Structure 1
Amino acid sequence: GNRTLGTASIGGMLIGMICQIFIVPVLFVIFQYLQEKVKPMEWEDIDNADAVTEIEQYAK
């Protein structure tokens, strides 16, 4: 009985580790691609005009 439980637990941990190493990053790339295709990221403040006042405050 102990051998069966040990084999099942080691096998489950190996399968989980393989999923974490290979499948999760692939899914991240796929979902990132789909998200950018459906709604691309929009940058509202490219020139950092709002940061000028804060920079002047700390530069004094």
Structure 2
Amino acid sequence: MRSVSLIVLPLAMLAAQPAFAKGCVRGAAAGAVAGHFVGKGHGLLGAAAGCVAMHHHYAKQAKAR
């Protein structure tokens, strides 16, 4: 698990874009709740996935304007 984080963290930092905070916070809250109901320890994973999904959604909306 440690070796995976040593690979993923630098890649995530390189691929980071300016975040749309509104989308990230809302998505993270919804993802954390959903992850909590899925099983033990999935709240953090759900929060990360929710943040990414809502960031993508708001970025697509901003591009369309």
Specify the TM-score bucket, using the shorter chain as the normaliser. 0.3 to 0.5
Please report the TM-score for the alignment, with normalisation by the length of structure 2: 0.35
Higher relative contact order (CA 8 A, sep 6+): 2
Structure exhibiting the larger radius of gyration computed from Cα positions: 1
